[in-house]
């Protein structure tokens, strides 16, 4: 089942989704519906796009580009999702064979668009078809250099080449395709959206700020557009904007545990607003979809996000017992099982419950041995390290955590709230600081912040480590950044007074 999010424009109004120029041979009554579908496509509002293309097809049953759009909406390149059977069924309604369908295209340009999507849903494996489709779209850029839609859909095709795994080379190629379109048309939703995806990591995020600041204004009626800006804002540690834009996205979709609620919740945690975060967490838990065979997948996705939210709550608040720590979430979140096992084991160890921590470490070892998820390998090392730390074997703990950090560094660049809920460099920094090695700890906290800028626990750790190492300038600068993030923090969330005194003493 493919993930979707429906936009909710005001009743009776044309949704505000941006502006594009996409002339076609369709009937006059079908063209606005078609353009609406393309605009929804550019903002990954796939359910709404499908409706618009079907309306265009009803208005003009022979409208080839309406079939093209409806078929294309069944592929979600960045999410590595594709409903091949549904897409082929759409094309079959246009004609029984590929040659028959291509013969119905009214212009060479429309034939090229249709031929490209025929390739996307032709024979062969998905990676092969994705590659051939990207090549077809890149040829369209050469053959129709004045067509901005060819460039933007080519950029999206390139983003999807690596089957959902980030690749800097491909992403920079996509940026090069989308940037001229954005410069010529600052109201183009696809150009802004794909630039954000291309720059969606802490190293490149600064390049995506213009597109991020523009995109929510371009497409205010697309929930995904409101959320997508925060891929850049989170990578820059801009927590107020991460919260506000995801709050809008949640309001346009639902409060059930999901992608948008997770990001909103994480931003509130990073601001030290633990009571507000707890209210969001409890509300999301209460909004879980009721059971039923037809809703099993939907509930599984929700449970996965709820498990991650609970995990971030425990790690950030360090409230290891009571409240969310005692929730029984069951085994309904297989995609987050490794994160849940780590958090439950880590929290148990901090409570002095070694038996539960050992059981969770064994569960992580099974996950890692099965090779189901590389992050499981990292978290298995982390929990084993903390068990050795509890045993008094501090140097063994440091060795295990260095292994975990090396594994995490080898993983593809991550975006969003970390799937490794206690980042390994941050945890290693805390252990080194506890072992009176502040210089090494400072290095680890700095590395943690390079991977996750603005993360509160890493900032606090860097203040302590830099102050202990005698680096007052770094300690003071980091403290100011922390104070800015925590300006609305709960009074008992963090001890800023102690950190200020620590910096003042050095």
Q: What is the CATH number of the domain that holds 474?
A: 1.25.40.10
Q: Give the Cβ contact number of residue 447 at 10 Å.
A: 20
Residue 399, judged by CB atoms within 10 A of its CB (0-12, 13-18, 19+), counts as middle
Over its C-alpha atoms, the chain yields an Rg (Å, rounded) of: 25
Instruction: Give how far Cα 426 sits from Cα of 173, 266, 456, 467, 487, Å.
Output: 33, 17, 10, 17, 22
Give the span between the Cα atoms of 86 and 73, in whole angstroms. Answer: 10
- C-alpha 264/C-alpha 97 separation (Å) is 47
Q: 205, 230, 255: which is the final residue of a domain? A: 230
3 state DSSP class of 95: coil
Query: What are the residue ranges in the chain where pLDDT is below 50?
Result: 1-10, 292-293
Would 437 be classed as within a structural domain?
A: yes
> What is the model's pLDDT at position 7?
42
90 in any annotated domain? yes
The whole domain housing 455 covers 423-506
How many domains does the chain fold into? 2
| Residues 359/327, Cβ–Cβ less than 8 Å | no
Helix, coil or strand: residue 20:
coil
Q: Which tokens hold the place of 105? A: 């295209």
Separation between Cα atoms, residue 217 and residue 14, nearest integer Å? 15
Asked whether residue 415 is domain-assigned, the answer is no
Whole-angstrom distance, CA of residue 250 vs CA of residue 259? 9
In a domain, 106, yes or no: yes
- From 203, 230, 257, the end of a domain falls on 230
Three-class DSSP labels, 301-361? HHHHHHHHHHHHHHHHHCCCCCHHHHCCCCCCCHHHHHHHHHHHHHHHHHHCCHHHHHHHH
> Does 325 fall in a domain?
no
Predicted confidence (pLDDT) per residue in 4-27, tens digit: 333 444 456 889 999 999 999 999
Q: How far are the Cα atoms of 139, 289, 299, 425, 470 from residue 292, in angstroms, in the given order?
A: 47, 9, 9, 42, 59
Q: And the tokens for 464?
A: 């302590």
C-alpha–C-alpha distance, residues 211 and 43, integer Å: 13
pLDDT value at position 335? 65
Closest CA to 18 of 271, 176, 136, 191: 191
| 75 within 8 A of 44, measured Cβ to Cβ | no
Q: Closest by alpha carbon to 150, among 199, 113, 104?
A: 113
Question: Which among 74, 6, 35 has a CA at the least distance from the CA of 221?
Answer: 6
State residue 413's pLDDT score. 78
Among 177, 209, 230, the domain-final residue is 230
- 143 falls within a domain: yes
| HSE of 62, CA atoms in CB hemisphere, 13 A | 8
Determine the 3-state secondary structure of 81 from DSSP. Answer: strand
SS3 82: strand
- Flag whether 399 is in a domain: no
* CA count, 13 A, side-chain hemisphere, 16: 10
Distance separating alpha carbons of residues 393 and 79, to the nearest angstrom:
43
Tell me the backbone φ, ψ of residue 282, rounded to 5 degrees.
Answer: -65, -35
| Alpha carbon 266 to its chain's center | 12
Does a structural domain hold residue 300?
A: no
d(CA 93, CA 109): 21
CATH (domain of 188) = 1.25.40
């Amino acid at each position: 089942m493919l993930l979707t999010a429906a936009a909710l424009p005001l009743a009776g109004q044309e949704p505000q989704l941006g502006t594009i120029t996409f002339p076609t041979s369709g009937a006059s009554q079908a063209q606005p519906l078609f353009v609406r579908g393309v605009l929804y496509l550019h903002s990954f509002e796939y359910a709404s796009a499908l409706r618009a293309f079907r309306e265009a097809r009803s208005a003009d049953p022979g409208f080839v580009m309406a079939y093209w759009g409806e078929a294309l909406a069944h592929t979600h390149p960045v999410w590595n999702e594709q409903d091949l059977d549904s897409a082929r069924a759409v094309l079959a309604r246009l004609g029984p064979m590929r040659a028959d369908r291509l013969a119905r295209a009214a212009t060479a340009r429309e034939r090229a668009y249709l031929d490209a999507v025929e390739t996307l849903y032709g024979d062969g494996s998905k990676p092969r078809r994705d590659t051939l489709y990207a090549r077809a779209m890149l040829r369209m850029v050469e053959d129709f250099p004045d067509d901005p839609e060819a460039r933007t859909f080519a950029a999206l095709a390139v983003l999807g080449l690596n089957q959902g795994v980030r690749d800097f080379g491909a992403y920079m190629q996509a940026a090069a395709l989308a940037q001229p379109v954005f410069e010529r048309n600052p109201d183009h939703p696809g150009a802004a959206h794909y630039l954000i995806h291309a720059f969606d990591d802490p190293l490149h995020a600064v390049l995506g700020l213009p597109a991020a600041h523009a995109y929510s204004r371009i497409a205010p009626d697309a929930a995904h557009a409101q959320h997508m800006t925060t891929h850049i804002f989170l990578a820059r540690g801009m927590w107020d904007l991460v919260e506000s834009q995801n709050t809008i996205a949640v309001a346009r979709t639902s409060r059930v545990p999901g992608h948008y609620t997770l990001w909103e919740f994480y931003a509130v945690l990073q601001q030290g607003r633990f009571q507000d975060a707890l209210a969001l967490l409890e509300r999301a838990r209460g909004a879980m979809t009721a059971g039923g065979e037809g809703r099993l997948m939907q509930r599984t996705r929700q449970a996965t996000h709820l498990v991650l939210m609970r995990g971030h709550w425990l790690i950030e608040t360090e409230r290891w017992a009571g409240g969310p720590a005692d929730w029984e979430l069951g085994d309904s979140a297989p995609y987050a099982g490794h994160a849940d096992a780590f958090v439950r084991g880590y929290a148990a160890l901090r409570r002095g419950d070694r038996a539960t921590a050992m059981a969770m470490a064994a569960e992580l070892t099974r996950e890692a041995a099965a090779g189901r998820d590389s992050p499981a390998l990292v978290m298995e090392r982390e929990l084993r390290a903390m068990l050795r730390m509890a045993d008094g074997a501090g140097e063994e703990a440091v060795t295990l955590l260095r292994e975990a950090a090396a594994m995490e560094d080898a993983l593809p660049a991550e975006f969003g709230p970390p799937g490794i809920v206690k980042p390994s460099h941050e945890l290693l920094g805390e252990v080194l600081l506890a072992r009176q090695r502040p210089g090494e700890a400072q290095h680890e906290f700095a590395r943690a912040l390079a991977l996750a800028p603005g993360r509160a626990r890493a900032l606090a750790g860097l203040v302590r480590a830099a102050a202990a190492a005698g680096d007052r300038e770094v300690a003071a600068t980091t403290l100011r950044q922390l104070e800015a993030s925590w300006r609305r923090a709960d009074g008992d969330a963090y001890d800023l007074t102690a950190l200020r005194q620590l910096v003042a003493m050095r």
